[in-house]
Amino acid sequence: MKNKNAVYLLFLANIISGLAQGISMIAIPWYFIEIIEKPKFFTYCYFIITFLTFFWGMYAGTIIDRYSRKKIFLITNFICGTIIASVSAYGFYNQSTSEYLVILVFLITIFNYNVHYPNLYAFGQEITEKKNYGKLNSYIEIQGQSTSMFAGAIAAILLTGSSNDIISFGGFNFNFPLNFKAWDIHEIFLMDAITYFISLLIIMLIKYVKIEKLNIETGSLYNRFISGLNFLKKRTYIFYFGLFSYMLFAFTLVQIHIILPIYVKNFLQMGADVYASSEFYYSIGAIFSGIFVIRVFKNNYKLLGVIIFFTTISIFFYLISFINSVYLFFITCLLLGITNAGVRVLRTTFLFNAIPNNIIGRATSVFSSINIIVRLFLIGIFSISFFQSDDNIKYSYLIGVVLLMSSAIPLALNYSKIIESEN
């Protein structure tokens, strides 16, 4: 690999910023659902934020294709770090944080996420040889999920604190020699802001040589988005694969931010330690998937892997809709990590092979925009009072089953043509 040091620095920066960011994104939904008990307010805000990302997502890919991907990282890290640091400073000064400022942090983090990961993959593709695409995507998944695993573990401790030398994590109790109170949200935000600035400094050190120099289109952002759409129109089965393989990702994001905290509180009747531990188990599964999935489903078996993953997780979603068991819930989180990460690695490798680097950002932004529409639909459904009262949130997983199986079927029906389209 020609740009090995550049890739290592990119991963290091992503680990540092991702750790505290992951803790914040676990803490924020729990803050609204358990601490201030305003789940509907958070759901409505999440709907509005997702709606706004639809417009942002359309242009994020075009920005990634038009400007230096290193500079994009530098700018986004500076903006996010500055805003979150300001919110944290307000919290320390007033000894509390306005719920609207907490939503602002959630907003800026979601907006950053929508450009960060497409930019990360595009930058990685730009500085990596084609023969190493599969390895690169696996490494990104392993790195990202290892970070999430530690974020889940740390969040479980920070959100609950310790008492009587005992901490609860992963469904178990552990001896801990120190007693400390749970962190306030502004303390978590301070840690988040600091890591953004550290990440910025690391990215500044990255030096690389482009593997392939391509002509960059300089038209308007709107026209560049349309060019991505036109590219996919001419390649129907690439579009089919991208569209349906993204459905699990859409449901998983809504599940993490809306379904999961309510499910833990109302159906399982458990606390922050179980909620945060779910991220830990999810990440273990994702790491496992990142290591093995590209080895198991290599060459022309990527589509088969997606179909198998969709079917497997649908079975477990069905089970946890009716069975109240913390341990079955943790197993499902583990399998969801394997499934979502596995599908992401397979999907990204497939698209890297099928789509040139100079248009990859625009093409994936089309899928992201459709993905946002699906998420808006799901958030709208789960904002209904029925799902947020009693233990009815369990039925949301049945909707997930319907979504995934209705995606797996057309993939299976067009199996041979989709495989041909990769080449």
Q: Is the pLDDT of residue 149 over 60?
A: yes
274-287 residues labelled b (16+ CB within 10 A) or e (exposed):
bbbbbbbbbbbbbb
Per-residue model confidence (pLDDT) at position 385: 87
Torsion of CA 31, 109, 291, 362, to 10 degrees: 150
Secondary structure of residue 165 in the 3-state scheme: coil
Which of 14-18, 96-100, 365-369, 395-399 bottoms out in mean pLDDT, i.e. has the lowest?
Answer: 365-369
In order, the DSSP letters of 307-373 are HHHHHHHHHHHHHHTT---HHHHHHHHHHHHHHHHHHHHHHHHHHHHHS-HHHHHHHHHHHHHHHHH
Per-residue model confidence (pLDDT) at position 171: 67
Residue 405: pLDDT band (50, 70, 90) is very high
Beta strands (DSSP E) in 132-247 are 166-169, 172-175
Q: Closest Cα partner for 286 from 404, 145, 78?
A: 145
Q: Is the pLDDT of residue 218 over 70?
A: no
Quick check: 297 and 274 in contact, CB under 8 A? no
- The total of other beta-carbon atoms located within 10 Å of residue 417's CB is 12
Q: Is the pLDDT of residue 214 over 60?
A: no
Evaluate whether the domain defined by 4-206+219-422 bears CATH number 1.20.1740.10.
Answer: no
Q: Is the dihedral of CA 357, 358, 359, 364 positive or negative?
A: positive
Q: Is the pLDDT of residue 83 over 80?
A: yes
Residue 155 to residues 33, 253, 256, 409: CA-CA distances in angstroms? 16, 18, 14, 38
21-49 average pLDDT score? 88
Residue 22: pLDDT band (50, 70, 90) is confident
Q: Is the pLDDT of residue 164 over 80?
A: no
Of residues 352 and 134, more confidently modeled: 352
Q: What is the pTM of this model?
A: 0.79
Percentage of the residues of the chain whose pLDDT score is greater than 90: 35
Place of tokens 């301070």: 190
Residue 75: pLDDT band (50, 70, 90) is very high
Per-residue model confidence (pLDDT) at position 267: 95
Phi, psi of 166 (to 5 degrees): -130, 135
Quick check: 91 and 185 in contact, CB under 8 A? yes
Secondary structure of residue 172 in the 3-state scheme: strand
Secondary structure of residue 184 in the 3-state scheme: coil
Query: Domain extents for the chain?
Result: 4-206+219-422
Task: Give CA 393 to chain center in angstroms.
Answer: 21
Length of the chain counted residue by residue: 423
Give the Cα-Cα-Cα angle 71, 90, 256 (nearest 5 degrees): 65
Per-residue model confidence (pLDDT) at position 48: 93
What's the rounded Cα separation, in Å, for the pair 253 and 18? 16
Per-residue model confidence (pLDDT) at position 197: 94
Q: Is the pLDDT of residue 146 over 60?
A: yes
305-313 average pLDDT score? 94
Percentage of the residues of the chain whose pLDDT score is greater than 70: 90
Q: What is the pLDDT of residues 232-284, one digit of tens each?
A: 888 888 888 988 999 999 999 899 889 999 999 999 999 888 888 888 899 88
Task: Give CA 82 to chain center in angstroms.
Answer: 22
What's the rounded Cα separation, in Å, for the pair 78 and 232? 34
Q: What is the pLDDT of residues 316-328, one digit of tens each?
A: 999 999 999 999 9
Q: Is the pLDDT of residue 313 over 70?
A: yes
What's the rounded Cα separation, in Å, for the pair 56 and 64? 12
DSSP state of 212: S
Per-residue model confidence (pLDDT) at position 325: 95
325-346 average pLDDT score? 93
Quick check: 158 and 149 in contact, CB under 8 A? no
Per-residue model confidence (pLDDT) at position 401: 96
Q: Is the pLDDT of residue 202 over 90?
A: yes
389-403 average pLDDT score? 94
